Amino acid sequence: MENQFSQIAALIGDKARSVMLWNLLDGRAYTATELSVCAGISPQSASNHLAKLVEADILSISKQGRHRYYTFKNDAVAQVVESMASLLPLNGEGKMISKPVLSGITYARTCYDHAAGRLGVGITESLIANGMLEASDKIYELTEKGSEWFSTFGINAEDLKQQKRSFAHQCLDWSERKPHLAGALGASMLNIMLQNDWVRKKQNTRELLITPKGKLKLNDLLKLEI
Is residue 144 predicted with pLDDT exceeding 80? yes
Angstrom distances, CA of residue 27 to CA of 20, 68, 85, 120: 12, 16, 15, 16
* Contact residues for 89 (Cβ-Cβ < 8 A; gap 6+): 15, 18
Catalogue all structural domains in the chain, each as residue range(s) with its CATH number: 2-87 (1.10.10.10), 104-222 (no CATH)
Q: How far is CA 69 from the centre of its chain?
A: 11
Q: How many CB atoms lie within 10 A of CB 176?
A: 25
Strands 199-201 and 109-111: unpaired
pLDDT at residue 141 greater than cutoff 90: yes
Query: How much is the pLDDT for 90?
Result: 56
What pLDDT shows up at residue 93? 59
pLDDT in tens, 162-195: 998 999 999 999 889 899 999 999 999 999 999 9
Query: In this prediction, what percent of the chain has a pLDDT beyond 70?
Result: 93
User: Cα separation of 60 and 105, whole Å?
Assistant: 27
Distance from C-alpha of 179 to C-alpha of 142, rounded to nearest angstrom: 16
The 3-state DSSP class for residue 135 equals: strand
Cβ atoms < 10 Å from Cβ of 70: 24
* C-alpha distances in Å from residue 26, one per residue of 7, 23, 31: 25, 6, 14
Q: Return the SS3 of 214.
A: helix
Distance between CA atoms of 134 and 75, rounded to whole angstroms? Answer: 14
- Does the structure show a pLDDT above 90 at 214? yes
